[in-house]
């Protein structure tokens, strides 16, 4: 397994994966973490790691958690001088850190999601070598200043300067030479690249060996590779720049012995050509054409040939943004026996995954034809770091935690079943992922939860354990054996060249790619954008990060059709019509799943939009004096609440038949309302800068939260936390301890204040409560991590105010609508805008299922949009003025709308 081959000191819990992405580990010192209670002082011995964006304390006692202190959260770092009072016991000098957050990792030595301890905490650290204390404090203060700079580009530049200074002050220690007779050829600063992380140091090449010495001595003091053992070397693109070099001491393994990133292309090339002189006929043997001839004549297996093509096309197991890509080859995951003689068993290799489903492809093409240049058919890629770790989370849990800020993905979005994953790739409108080499290897551990990881519980109540295999496989090893046999089968051997044309060949780009329905987002192609030409540093870093995380198309290896393999015919394989069955012949469940814009599981909460036959008006009530601004309904549907610009909160019985209560909190407009899960409290936001809590059982105002300096525009709630958005350019996060007895005042604790550059008009949470999205008056969309309150993505989507936004049910996308009459879909992982629809009129509010959008427009009509085709599929006259509020229940049979015409309208859905 690629991830397990990386050299690590097995007795250590610390790993570079505990760092943030793009963070460096600089130095370590033996130290004590000093804690004290009312009785006595306690010292915990361990190692203090100084990193570019954090301080990490790694205790010797494995039962103690590793403590990570993000430097950006530090309020004060200071050197506390040694006390020499003769009347008391002398106290050594220490490092005092006052931080707003401490992250606990590997508590009890268990690999699990990180625990964030929030609230100001003072940590005292004592170095074993006292003389270094003041120097370490100065280093921490310098890195702290870098972490607190406003611009990401300035932070990166300051940290890079620190790194280069350290590298310039050190050099390779020649005492590590294996022989005194060794002759050094050259030495330079480099970084050793591993999945998600890189480690700076020095490379030295002699007439006998290649050495790498890490700056920090981790994971080994020196890594040595004997030049006479090198079998293959490849120049690599790293971060879209020609700076990488990968060295292999094996012929066919896809795991290299070392991957180095240089700081200059000339240094990389000099070492490359020096090593090449040790390889006989290196420059002629290792070409795509030479491997192709070997494969054609049967000297290379399909698996070996694909590995070589991946290597030549810049794919590396050490670079998750360019991990080796392998095809799905089997289409049958339901039969009890796998029939290798029937073509219907296999996937059509002449088409990309996105074109395998005819009905889905038609919708994608409709969207493509209406798209401005540069156009693309698929908004997501077939290979990305997220997809690689989706498959490998069971053997690389720390990589997943590193990629996702200390969390696993939602249990229902995990790799739970091979058949379910293939079904989603065929039917989900944004899921086009291919496979990775592990599916054709010998190690089945990635299919089994051998580490007994707590990966969460699915919505059907089952724990995420081993991957569910097809019925034709008796166990994980049997699955791999049959999967490997399928890859080497006669059918695949006869058709593999068609897939190579798509991924590595002449159908990868240009008119042939368009004809083959093989067009991905422009940023995924090599040379699609020159990041160095972007002058704004922040924009350049954001663009580079987006490209690396979104997925990259391999380097093009062939510009003419790839020849077919010369294979003897052992079986008469016939293609069954079912392999290309239109979607209309699939089961009803498959049809409804296919029409979802998202990769949804059966347990996911979703709205049955596609079966919407008609939306029938049941009744309407005009009980407000101004526009309706918010609608909330109790869980049982018995009571309906609404807020209005007339400053009142109204309560109705089910069906809007019986008006029951009216409540006014101030003389200013109420902007939104929400019902808390207990069904006893309604929360209302107001233009008077306050938030009001209304007790339903007691029929009166329960509490007031005076939270902002300007109007509170919208709110959301999850797990006793209230998120309030305001025109004062902030979103505030409150811990709310509500007193249901109504005898005591509730407790409100401000947990975080999220700053924006403009007034915040709308805010929303994903279903799991792990992500927050905010939309501003200047058209900016910002996605936040609710565990760390860090900005994950920020995109300027609209040219005017954003009216409303919401996550898709699977949390992968955000839909936003604004005053510019546009509806835009943003990819959460990359921040990339993957869809944009221009409406004839301004839209004000909506509900969506990830594919279809029911929205209320300025004219008062309800519109049902299909985002894949960018068309309105239904228009329903509703209000005489703009629709300003909307609510829909989970079962998709009830819709309530409110408008500027002061009316509330109750609708029923009928299939």
Does position 283 have pLDDT exceeding 50, yes or no?
no
User: Which CATH class name applies to 2-168?
Assistant: mainly beta
Q: What is the pLDDT of residues 901-911, one digit of tens each?
A: 999 999 887 75
**Whole-number pLDDT of residue 75:** 94
| DSSP code of residue 792 | E
Distance CA 426, CA 433 (A): 10
Report residue 15's pLDDT band, with 50, 70 and 90 as the boundaries. Answer: very high
378, containing H or E segment: none
> Quick one: fold of 170-286?
PH-domain like (2.30.29)
**Residue 568 has which token pair?**
């003897």
Does position 663 have pLDDT exceeding 70, yes or no?
yes
- Pairing relationship of beta strands 843-848 and 730-737 according to DSSP bridges: unpaired
Residue closest to 682 by CA, chosen among 666, 661, 667: 661
Q: What is the pLDDT of residues 802-813, one digit of tens each?
A: 999 999 988 888
What residues have CB less than 8 Å from 633, skipping those under 6 apart?
639, 640, 641, 675, 887, 889, 896
Residues of the chain with CATH 2.40.10: 846-911
User: 248 forms bridges with which residues in the sheet?
Assistant: 232
Mean pLDDT of 475-502: 96
The DSSP result for 290-315, as a single string, is HHHHHHHTTSS-HHHHHHHHHHHTT-
**Residue 510 has which token pair?**
């240009």
Q: What is the pLDDT of residues 699-734, one digit of tens each?
A: 889 899 998 999 999 999 998 999 999 999 999 999
Peptide bond into 374 cis (omega under 30): yes
**Whole-number pLDDT of residue 658:** 63
Residues in the chain: 911
Task: Please answer whether residues 115 and 68 qualify as being in contact, where contact means their C-beta atoms are separated by less than 8 angstroms.
Answer: no
**Whole-number pLDDT of residue 280:** 59
Q: Which long-range contacts (CB under 8 A, 24 or more apart) does 579-588 make?
A: 579/331, 579/343, 579/344, 579/346, 579/348, 580/348, 580/358, 582/358, 582/359, 583/357, 583/358, 583/359, 583/360, 584/359
Report residue 585's pLDDT band, with 50, 70 and 90 as the boundaries. Answer: very low
Q: What is the pLDDT of residues 882-902, one digit of tens each?
A: 999 999 885 657 899 999 999
Angle CA(208)–CA(211)–CA(217) in degrees, nearest 5?
155
Q: What is the pLDDT of residues 837-857, one digit of tens each?
A: 888 899 999 999 887 899 999
The DSSP result for 476-490, as a single string, is HHHHHHHHHHHHTSH
Percent of the chain surpassing pLDDT 70: 89
- Please, what is the average pLDDT of the chain? 87
Domain 320-594 sits in CATH at 1.10.1540.10
pTM tops 0.75: yes
Mean pLDDT of 311-318: 93
Locate tokens 């959301």: which residue? 716
**Whole-number pLDDT of residue 590:** 28
Report residue 423's pLDDT band, with 50, 70 and 90 as the boundaries. Answer: very high
Task: Please answer whether residues 530 and 384 qualify as being in contact, where contact means their C-beta atoms are separated by less than 8 angstroms.
Answer: no
Mean pLDDT of 58-68: 94
Residues of the chain with CATH 2.30.29.30: 2-168, 170-286
Report residue 595's pLDDT band, with 50, 70 and 90 as the boundaries. Answer: very low
Q: How far is CA 151 from CA 144, 536, 539, 542, in A?
A: 14, 10, 10, 11
**Whole-number pLDDT of residue 408:** 94
Q: What is the pLDDT of residues 193-241, one digit of tens each?
A: 999 999 999 999 999 999 999 999 998 999 999 998 998 899 998 887 8
Helix (H, G, I), strand (E, B) or coil at 703: strand
Does position 152 have pLDDT exceeding 90, yes or no?
no
Does position 800 have pLDDT exceeding 70, yes or no?
yes
Q: What is the pLDDT of residues 378-413, one digit of tens each?
A: 989 999 999 999 999 999 999 999 999 899 999 999
Architecture of the domain defined by 846-911 = Beta Barrel (2.40)
Helix (H, G, I), strand (E, B) or coil at 854: strand
Greatest mean pLDDT among 30-34, 86-90, 609-613 lies in 30-34
Does position 573 have pLDDT exceeding 60, yes or no?
no
**Whole-number pLDDT of residue 582:** 28
Distance CA 132, CA 92 (A): 12
Mean pLDDT of 609-622: 73
**Whole-number pLDDT of residue 603:** 30
Distance CA 398, CA 451 (A): 12
Q: What is the pLDDT of residues 86-106, one digit of tens each?
A: 666 667 889 999 999 999 999
Residues of the chain with CATH 1.10.1540.10: 320-594
Report residue 2's pLDDT band, with 50, 70 and 90 as the boundaries. Answer: low
Distance CA 640, CA 71 (A): 47
The dihedral over CA atoms of 712, 714, 718, 721, expressed in degrees to the nearest 10, equals -10
**Whole-number pLDDT of residue 250:** 85
**Whole-number pLDDT of residue 291:** 85
Residue closest to 659 by CA, chosen among 647, 669, 672, 649: 649
| DSSP code of residue 520 | B
Q: How many CB atoms lie within 10 A of CB 4?
A: 11
The packing angle between helices 288-296 and 302-312, to 10°, is: 170
Locate tokens 């999205």: which residue? 773
Report residue 589's pLDDT band, with 50, 70 and 90 as the boundaries. Answer: very low
Task: Please answer whether residues 847 and 607 qualify as being in contact, where contact means their C-beta atoms are separated by less than 8 angstroms.
Answer: yes
């Amino acid at each position: 397994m690629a991830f397990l081959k990386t050299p690590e000191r097995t007795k250590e819990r610390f790993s570079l994966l505990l760092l943030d992405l793009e963070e460096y580990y600089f130095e370590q010192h033996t130290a004590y973490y000093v804690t004290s209670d009312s009785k006595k002082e306690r010292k915990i011995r361990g190692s203090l790691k100084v990193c570019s964006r954090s301080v990490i304390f790694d205790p010797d006692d494995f039962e103690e958690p590793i403590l990570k202190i993000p430097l950006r959260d530090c309020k004060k770092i200071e050197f506390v001088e040694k006390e020499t009072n003769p009347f008391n016991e002398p106290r050594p000098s220490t490092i005092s850190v006052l931080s707003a957050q401490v992250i606990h990792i590997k508590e009890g030595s268990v690999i699990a999601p990180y625990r964030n301890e929030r609230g100001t905490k003072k940590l005292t650290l004592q170095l074993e070598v006292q003389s270094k204390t003041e120097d370490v404090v100065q280093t921490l203060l310098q890195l702290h200043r870098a972490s607190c700079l406003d611009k990401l580009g300035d932070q990166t530049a300051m940290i890079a300067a620190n790194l280069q200074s350290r590298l310039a002050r050190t050099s390779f220690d020649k005492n590590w030479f294996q022989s005194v007779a060794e002759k050094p050829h050259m030495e330079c600063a480099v970084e050793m690249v591993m999945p998600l992380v890189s480690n700076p140091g020095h490379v030295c090449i002699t007439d006998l060996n290649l050495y790498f010495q890490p700056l920090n001595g981790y994971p080994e003091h020196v890594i040595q590779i004997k030049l006479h053992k090198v079998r293959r070397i490849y120049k690599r693109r790293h971060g879209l720049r020609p700076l990488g070099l990968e060295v292999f001491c094996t012929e066919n393994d896809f795991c290299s012995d070392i991957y180095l990133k240089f700081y200059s292309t000339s240094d990389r090339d000099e070492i490359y050509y020096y090593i090449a002189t040790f390889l006989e006929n290196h420059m002629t043997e290792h070409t795509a054409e030479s491997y192709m001839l070997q494969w054609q004549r049967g000297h290379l297996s399909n698996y070996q040939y694909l590995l070589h093509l991946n290597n030549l096309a810049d794919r590396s197991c050490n670079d998750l943004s360019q991990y080796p890509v392998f095809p799905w080859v089997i289409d049958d995951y339901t039969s009890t026996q796998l029939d290798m003689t029937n073509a219907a068993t296999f996937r059509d290799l002449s088409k990309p995954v996105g074109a395998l489903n005819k009905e889905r492809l038609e919708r994608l093409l409709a969207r493509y034809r209406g798209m401005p240049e540069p156009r693309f058919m698929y908004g997501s890629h077939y290979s990305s770091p997220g997809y690689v770790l989706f498959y490998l989370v069971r053997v690389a849990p720390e990589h997943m935690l590193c990629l996702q800020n200390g969390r696993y993905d939602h249990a229902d979005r995990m790799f739970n079943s091979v058949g379910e994953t293939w079904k989603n790739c065929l039917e989900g409108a944004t899921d086009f992922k291919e496979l990775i080499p592990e599916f054709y290897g010998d190690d089945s551990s990635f299919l089994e939860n051998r580490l007994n990881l707590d990966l969460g519980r699915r919505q059907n109540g089952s724990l995420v354990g081993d991957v569910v295999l097809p019925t034709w496989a008796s166990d994980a090893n049997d699955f791999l054996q049959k999967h490997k046999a399928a890859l080497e089968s006669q059918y695949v051997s006869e058709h593999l060249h068609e897939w190579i044309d798509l991924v590595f060949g002449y159908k990868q780009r240009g008119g042939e790619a368009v004809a083959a329905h093989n067009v991905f987002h422009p940023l995924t192609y090599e040379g699609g954008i020159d990041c160095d030409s972007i002058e704004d540093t922040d924009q350049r870093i954001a663009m580079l990060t987006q490209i690396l995380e979104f997925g990259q198309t391999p380097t093009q290896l062939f510009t003419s059709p790839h020849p077919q393999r010369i294979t003897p015919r052992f079986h008469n394989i016939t293609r069954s019509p079912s392999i290309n069955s239109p979607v209309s012949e699939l089961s009803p469940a498959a049809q409804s799943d296919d029409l979802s814009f998202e990769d949804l599981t059966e347990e996911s909460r979703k709205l049955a939009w596609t079966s919407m036959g008609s939306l029938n008006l049941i009744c309407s009530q005009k009980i407000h004096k101004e526009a309706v601004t918010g609608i909330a309904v109790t869980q049982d549907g018995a009571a309906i609440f609404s807020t209005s610009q007339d400053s009142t909160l109204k309560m109705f019985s089910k069906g809007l038949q019986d008006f029951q209560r009216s409540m006014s909190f101030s003389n200013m407009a109420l902007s939104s309302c929400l019902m808390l899960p207990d069904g006893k409290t309604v929360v209302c936001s107001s233009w008077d800068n306050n938030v009001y809590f209304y007790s339903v059982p007691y029929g009166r105002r329960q509490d007031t939260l005076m939270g902002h300096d300007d109007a509170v525009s919208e709110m959301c709630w999850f797990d006793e936390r209230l998120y309030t958005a305001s025109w004062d350019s902030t979103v505030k996060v409150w811990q709310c301890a509500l007193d249901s007895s109504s005898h005591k005042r509730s407790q409100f604790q401000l947990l975080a204040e999220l700053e924006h550059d403009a007034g915040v008009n709308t805010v929303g949470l994903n279903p799991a409560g792990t992500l927050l999205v905010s939309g501003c008056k200047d058209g900016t969309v910002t996605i936040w991590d609710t565990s760390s309150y860090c900005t994950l993505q920020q995109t300027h989507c609209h040219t005017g105010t954003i009216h409303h936004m919401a996550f898709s049910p699977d949390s992968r996308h955000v839909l936003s609508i604004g005053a510019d009459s546009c509806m835009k879909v943003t990819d959460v992982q990359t921040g990339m805008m993957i869809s944009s629809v221009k409406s004839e009129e301004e839209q004000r509010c909506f509900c969506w299922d990830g594919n279809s959008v029911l929205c209320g427009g300025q004219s008062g009509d309800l519109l049902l949009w299909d985002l894949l085709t960018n068309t309105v599929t239904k228009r329903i006259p509703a209000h005489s003025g703009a629709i300003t509020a909307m609510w829909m229940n989970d079962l998709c049979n009830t819709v309530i709308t409110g408008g500027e015409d002061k009316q509330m309208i109750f609708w029923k859905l009928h299939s």
